[in-house]
A and B are shown apart, each in its own frame.
Chain A
Amino acid sequence: MSALSGVGSRRSKLVFAGSVYLGLIAMTAVFLFPLLWVIGLSLKTRLQVFAVPPLFIWRPTLENYAGVLGQADFLQAFVNSLVVSSGAVLLSLCVGVPAAYAFARFPFRGGSFLFFSLLIMRMLPPIAVLVPMYILFSKLGLTTTRFSVVLAYSTFSLPLVVWIMRGFFEDLPRELEESAWVDGASRSAAFRHVVLPLIRPGLVAASILCLQLAWNDFLFSAVLTNNATRTLPVLMAAFSGGDTGTDWGGMTASGVLVILPVLIFSFAAQRHLVAGLSSGAVKG
């Protein structure tokens, strides 16, 4: 849906484009400023962090990054975060997307009830299930493993995935699948080869949201892991220590390092988001 075609004269188009860019730049400035501030903090010493008036120009230091990366735990926690998050995203997508497809296309007895139960589960604050979940995992012998965290995160994202993807599936015109079925394809084959490629923007959106949930969770990871399996947010909490307080430089440096992979993923992913849609396959 390119809003530049069709409406209005060339001049009004330029004015429109200009104001759009202006709006975007303003918004980006507002939304990115805190991130830039975080990056700035990570390059300041403790005294510089608390300077009055706030320092916008200063001599940057890399000591915080050196400190964070120098910790042997950091790499381990980073790997754990990667494993746990990608595991949770993959599990949620593999399990949730077919379910969403089924809910959208093949209603069955009890289907609505099941769908809404999933949603209702989402409404419970996760802290309510933390301790019972811990007990369950300890009975299953899964405490301190990364698998337990993957399972926990998957239960948070699954209802989200199912719900969002169902919307996308319902919007998809059924002619494509029906023609595939008529041609002799099985349901699952049609799903895999015809439907899935069309639904890419939805998949991307869902995976971004799942990733965000899994990558940034703190409380569940803190309780379910030990030193060897802990994820980055838990490691980072060590920087905000009780009595003498937050090591702002260390916290922000690790914060920046933590969001880098996710940023890279979303940059790569958003290109697919656009590509999948502007291909025109959906409009047919």
Chain B
Amino acid sequence: MGGTTTAVRSTGVGAMRGSGYGTAGAQRWIDRQFAHLAVLPTTALMLLIFGIPLLFSLYLSFQGWSPEQALFAGNFAGTANYQDLLTDPQFLKSLSVTFLYTALTVTTELACGLGIALLLNIDLPWIGLFRTALVVPMMITPIVAALCWKLLLDPDHGVVNYWIGSHIVWLGRPDTALISVMVVNLWQNAPYVAVLLLAGLRSLPSEPVEAASIDGASRWQVFWHITLPLLRPYILVALLLRTIFEFRAFDNIYVMTSGGPANATMTLSMFTYLASFVRFDLSLGAAASWLMLVMCLLLCLFFIAVIRRRDAN
């Protein structure tokens, strides 16, 4: 996956040209333009429906704020919004919260998801039942799931405290609130990773594994030296997707803590939400969103670079 694009250009497209296939001239034209035609609907849809609002949001981030007037009547304000953000202690705090939260959540999701996928990959009888069961958490509407966990974590009549025999106010203390939200996210999204990695596991060729087992390798050796490297591209996909998602995770925090207590769970997305929808400072919200995008992009590029380098070795 990736890295072989130049090879394709020389064999795939080049080899097809002049092979005299196809009947009508139209068919031939379609084939020559196949790539462009195939990509056209996607491009059009994204540009129109998402791209225009996206660019508008970028434009907004350079406009001033005029709270009373019609939505977008502020004046050009240059980088004032960005400056205001970077001097806002709440924004800076949300940066650190977000990075910490993303790092911990993605790591645990990947580890759990991989474990689950490995177990689900084994062809035991009735495995189908387990496959469905473990996909369930991610299908539950996040609002319902978060509210349910809010009840479970209730200090006085929640099941969690009942079992561990304590009265910890999980969502009311700055030190435990972030972990609680993370656990809920992990619960809901490890299955997401598991689905991706399971699909990947099942697409892997079986020869290397069979060859290795015949050679007498233990299960662990097979896993570590053969399966894992083969799975790396899928892990990269999962890593990137989860990073993008957790970086802007919102639903659980919105329902469970609203960014508190004392900004302990004030992630960038919560901050942006408050700016855009509670404060209606749309230009500040736009600036914050774009900063989020840039940061997320840099993070993903970093991951890709690291994994590519390991691939090359």
Contact = CB atoms under 8 A, between A and B. Distances in A.
A contacting B, Cβ–Cβ less than 8 Å: yes
Question: Max chain A CB contacts within 10 Å: which of B1, B139, B187?
Answer: B139
Given A34-B149, A53-B162, A125-B248, A263 B289 contact: no
B182 to A, nearest CB: 15
Contact of B38 (A38, A99, A208): A99
Contacts of A17: 124
B97 interface: no
Contact of B124 (A21, A99, A108): A21
A235 B127 CA distance: 36
B198 to A, nearest CB: 8
A95 B57 CA distance: 25
B144 A38 contact: yes
Contacts of A185: 21
A121 B46 contact: yes
Interface stretch (B9-17, B80-88, B102-110, B257-265): B9-17
Interface string B176-193: 000000000001000110
B53 A187 contact: no
B157 A209 contact: no
A283 interface: yes
Contacts of A228: none
A163 to B, nearest CB: 7
Contacts of B9: 107
Contacts of B247: 123
Nearest to A12: B219
B61 to A, nearest CB: 9
Interface in A115-169: 118-125, 127-133, 135-136, 151-152, 154-155, 158-160, 162-164, 167-168
B45 A154 contact: yes
B196 A24 contact: no
A108 B35 contact: yes
Contacts of A123: 244, 247-248, 292-293, 296-297, 300
B159 A98 contact: no
A108 B132 CA distance: 40
Interface string B124-156: 100010111111111111111101110110001
Contacts of A212: 138-139
B195 interface: yes
B96 interface: no
Nearest to B43: A114
Nearest to A205: B199
A266 B132 CA distance: 7
A240 interface: yes
Given A114-B39, A274-B128, A31 B134 contact: yes
Given A99-B41, A114-B43, A125-B289, A133 B203 contact: no
B137 to A, nearest CB: 5
A174 B311 CA distance: 22
A185 B237 CA distance: 32
Contacts of B191: 31
Question: Max chain B CB contacts within 10 Å: which of A107, A182, A282?
Answer: A107
A107 B10 CA distance: 11
B144 A2 contact: no
A4 interface: yes
A6 interface: yes
Nearest to B251: A218
Contacts of A8: 219
Given A53-B157, A283-B207, A236 B49 contact: no
Contacts of B19: 181-182
Contacts of B41: 94-95, 98-99
B46 A136 contact: no
B145 A152 contact: no
Given A31-B133, A209-B192, A38 B140 contact: yes
B18 interface: no
Nearest to A280: B206
B307 interface: no
Contacts of B131: 270, 273-274
Nearest to A168: B203
Interface in A76-120: 91, 94-96, 98-99, 101-103, 105-108, 111-112, 114, 118-120
The 4 A-B pairs at the shortest CB distance, nearest first, are namely: A128-B289, A132-B53, A255-B144, A102-B38
30 contacts: A27-B134, A32-B136, A34-B149, A54-B158, A102-B38, A105-B8, A105-B35, A106-B8, A121-B46, A123-B293, A127-B277, A128-B54, A128-B276, A128-B290, A129-B50, A135-B56, A151-B45, A158-B45, A170-B1, A208-B135, A209-B192, A209-B195, A216-B141, A251-B144, A258-B141, A258-B144, A266-B132, A266-B136, A266-B139, A283-B207
